[in-house]
Structure 1
Amino acid sequence: MNILILGGGGREHALAWAVLQNPKCDRLIMAPGNAGTRAIAENCDIDICDPPAVVALCETEAIDLVIVGPEAPLAAGVADELIAAGIPVFGPSAAAARLEASKAFTKEICDAVEAPTAGWARFTEAGPARDHVKARGAPIVVKADGLAAGKGVVVAMTEAEALEAVDAMFAGAHGTAGAEVVIEEFMAGEEASFFVLVDGETVLPVGTAQDHKRALEGDEGPNTGGMGAYTPAPVMTDAVTEAALERIVRPTMAEMARRGIPYRGVLYVGLMIGPDGAPRLVEYNVRFGDPECQAIMMRLGAQALDLCQAVAEGRLADMTVTWADDHAMTVVLAAEGYPGEYRKGTRIGGLEHLPESSHQMMFHAGTAEAGGAVVAAGGRVLSATGRGASLAEARDRAYALAEAVDWPEGRYRRDIGWRALK
């Protein structure tokens, strides 16, 4: 098979690594890819949010399957045009991708099926939103309605912080994504990431994880796109998993199909597990989480391609997921200053000496090549990922990779997995 993966982050490098474990993969193209994927695939620099350009590349290169990594191409309708051209694609239509592209749309779906989630209200002007915050008090959650590259959510622990977030969003801090704002009640509990595959009808669980959103140790500091993750998530017991499927996921998928927008792809189900053990929906994403994907792909390996192909071809009912009784962890190496201002172009050394195996992999995210060297080209730059019989073993392997990197301008949290390891 000739396979095209859209995206250039750590998630896409991990997907590429897993796909290449499968002998069905004859040729792999990454668009645009990064310095890490260049070593294992063919990088191609196209605009992945331009559907005709993606279709043209597929036709030129005789692509048999497209795997879409990030959410932006899906919201732009890439999957729609690929399907119209007869090219199998792993990823939902633009209409179905509204589960991530619009927080308000997701809330409306939840209300329609009575899926447990936070109370909410939508606003198009700052004044009424500010009045709502003052009436409700803090803690409270302020979200840009649209896609904001993982940066459009503020969990405000004070009223002042919430009002500042409202003003910033309506002032254009997140562009058009903040033209509408959703304000939610604060939910207490333990967060978990639950991933399911869907082919329009069948729902197949494909892994659980927990990530660390805060920038600093002890889960302190500003929110980020994710500083590390581990899988499986201990809080996702069989009972919690089944409750999430029956009360949240399956009703949502049935309602999407009823509306004529069946969902096909991977669905990220962000959950809050309350003190009573009952899951409530935090958010949906229409793609694998990053950095959760890096840890999950280490455990899935070659079967990831078979599962993606089955989703694209509507054969998910015939598939099962085989899990080893093991664990994986990924530790994100970020540029100093992230998620605020940070330098680009700093040189990263030591990568060529790192082990690469089914138990240890350094996945690239924000990297590029310059002058024969690998340099930082983003905020989250590398994902040191380890797999082991225990979470402690996976942690030790991940941190061994992180510590071997020569990058003075980078940093990483040293307590990933603390909740599960304590």
Structure 2
Amino acid sequence: MNVLVIGGGGREHALVKALSRSKHTKNIHAVPGNSSIEKYADVHSDIKDSDIDRIVELAKKENITWAVIGPEAPLNEGLADALEAAGVKVFGPRKLEAQLESSKAFAKKIMFKYDIPTAAYQTFTNLIEAAEYVKQEGAPIVIKKDGLAAGKGVAVAMTENEALDALKEMFAEGEDNPVVIEEFLEGEEFSLMVLVNGEYTLPFNIVAQDHKRAYDGDTGPNTGGMGAYAPVTHIGSDVIREAVSKIVKPMADAMVKEGLDYFGVMYLGAIITKDGVKTIEFNARFGDPEAQVLLGLLESDFIDVLEAVRNKESYELQFSSDSMLGVILASKGYPKDYVKGASVIIPDELEDEIFNSGLNHLKDDRYETAGGRVLLVTGRGNTLEEAKQTAYNNTKKIEFNNDALFYRKDIGERGV
């Protein structure tokens, strides 16, 4: 069959690689794709992932059976709805269901209505009222911009001043979009991917751990993710079962009760607190960079998985017993302003060990940066320690000018 992947980052690079391993795949198309995806797919770089009409036209022309939508923005714009209407099987929720990620206020409202464990919160559309609430509650406290922010619209403020500064920044564009202020939860975080079709759920039986803060020791601003590893062996199957039974399954059921029909990945960002597992956030797509390590370890045929979820069939996901760890190299200044066009040299031997997040290929082993997060460098091993060592050894083989790029040196430290 012919398949289509929407998106052009590291997550989509991982999706294309997973689909290329399927016995069912004939041709893969990617919109807009990137230069690394060209090895596996026909890349349509002239089409934007927001150009719904052209994507539907391409899907019809190429007789696409399955479309897998990677990023959150096309989901929020209704791409799944349009492709479904054209007769394509789509893995990714429709616009209404994608509100689970695109509106934090929407997600919080459902969680509280159906008693799904999460942090206490208030929603504000006025800076003065929000600031008064912060002063009343004190710090630490969490400030979240409602709407899509590519994983960066969250401030974990450890002081009252940090919280007030975050509020000013989030309200800088006006008071049209709500800001959600949450209770600070303390504990260990993890990412669980669950494949959902209405009330049907198929959880990944391993979890990943992302590293959101920009700098070592979980310091600095929140980012889209600076590295990830899987499996997280010190988080046991009992925790996964609790997360599914108390959070994900109730959320899937709640969506059905609300008249919604969710089909796609339900990404749970969770935290283990003294009161049990609680929800930090839901996303409506695979995490990035978690997808790169999780799909890298997936041994099941990805098309078989999609068909099982679509048909609501019992299915047991198979993963490698290896550990896999990835380190993000990011442009200096990320997640704030950064410069594009810095030179990067990646040895040919690392071609299969990297996932392209924001790189343009120039010639041979030469690339230039084209984004904030540039690439994920991975390593595999029998143990997490071995995977970590391999990933960092691979990272040292990549050449770039001075401090054009930076990366955390402590990815996976908690799990080793």
Regarding TM over 0.5, the answer is: yes
- Does residue 411 (structure 1) correspond to residue 391 (structure 2)? The answer is no
Residues in 2 aligned to 1:329 and 1:354: alpha-carbon distance in whole angstroms: 15
Comparing 375-384 with 386-395, greater Cα deviation is found at 386-395
Residues in 1 aligned to 2:216 and 2:168: alpha-carbon distance in whole angstroms: 29
Residues 387 and 371 from structure 1, CA distance in 2 versus in 1: closer, same or farther, beyond 3 angstroms?
Answer: closer
The structure 1 residue matched to 2:326, chosen from 315, 324, 330, is: 330
How many residues align structurally?
Answer: 411
Q: Which residue number corresponds to residue 154 of structure 1?
A: 155
Are the counterparts in 1 of residues 300 and 317 from structure 2 also a CA contact under 8 Å?
no
SS in structure 1 of the partner of residue 118 of structure 2: coil
Q: What CA deviation, in whole Å up to 9, does each residue of 1:316-364 have, x standing for no partner?
A: 42322012322111111111222222221112113323263xxxx2111
Are the counterparts in 1 of residues 195 and 202 from structure 2 also a CA contact under 8 Å?
yes
Residues in 2 aligned to 1:350 and 1:149: alpha-carbon distance in whole angstroms: 26
Unpaired runs of 5+ in structure 2?
none
Residues in 2 aligned to 1:244 and 1:399: alpha-carbon distance in whole angstroms: 31
Amino acid of the structure 1 residue aligned with 2:188: E
Q: Which residue number corresponds to residue 113 of structure 2?
A: 112
Residues in 2 aligned to 1:305 and 1:208: alpha-carbon distance in whole angstroms: 21
Q: Which residue number corresponds to residue 317 of structure 1?
A: 313
TM-score, normalisation: structure 1: 0.94
Residues 200 and 240 from structure 1, CA distance in 2 versus in 1: closer, same or farther, beyond 3 angstroms?
Answer: same
Structure 1 residue 237: Cα displacement: 1.5
Comparing 317-326 with 218-227, greater Cα deviation is found at 317-326
Q: What CA deviation, in whole Å up to 9, does each residue of 1:121-168 have, x standing for no partner?
A: 011111111111111011100100111121110000111111111111
Please show how residues 51-62 of structure 1 align to structure 2 within 5 Å: 51-62=52-63
Residues in 2 aligned to 1:107 and 1:290: alpha-carbon distance in whole angstroms: 22
Are the counterparts in 1 of residues 300 and 318 from structure 2 also a CA contact under 8 Å?
no
Q: Which residue number corresponds to residue 38 of structure 2?
A: 38
Residues in 2 aligned to 1:89 and 1:322: alpha-carbon distance in whole angstroms: 23
Q: Which residue number corresponds to residue 240 of structure 2?
A: 241
Are the counterparts in 2 of residues 299 and 387 from structure 1 also a CA contact under 8 Å?
no
Structure 1 residue 301: Cα displacement: 4.3
The structure 2 residue matched to 1:362, chosen from 344, 354, 363, is: 354
Amino acid of the structure 2 residue aligned with 1:214: R
Comparing 242-251 with 186-195, greater Cα deviation is found at 242-251
Residues in 1 aligned to 2:306 and 2:334: alpha-carbon distance in whole angstroms: 33
Are the counterparts in 2 of residues 35 and 374 from structure 1 also a CA contact under 8 Å?
no
Please show how residues 258-337 of structure 1 align to structure 2 within 5 Å: 258-275=257-274, 278-301=276-299, 303-311=301-309, 314-337=310-333
Q: Which residue number corresponds to residue 27 of structure 1?
A: 27
Please show how residues 41-80 of structure 1 align to structure 2 within 5 Å: 41-45=41-45, 46-80=47-81
Residues in 2 aligned to 1:336 and 1:371: alpha-carbon distance in whole angstroms: 23
Structure 1 residue 51: Cα displacement: 2.3
Structure 1 residue 98: Cα displacement: 0.4
Aligned-residue identity in percent = 45
Are the counterparts in 2 of residues 141 and 183 from structure 1 also a CA contact under 8 Å?
yes
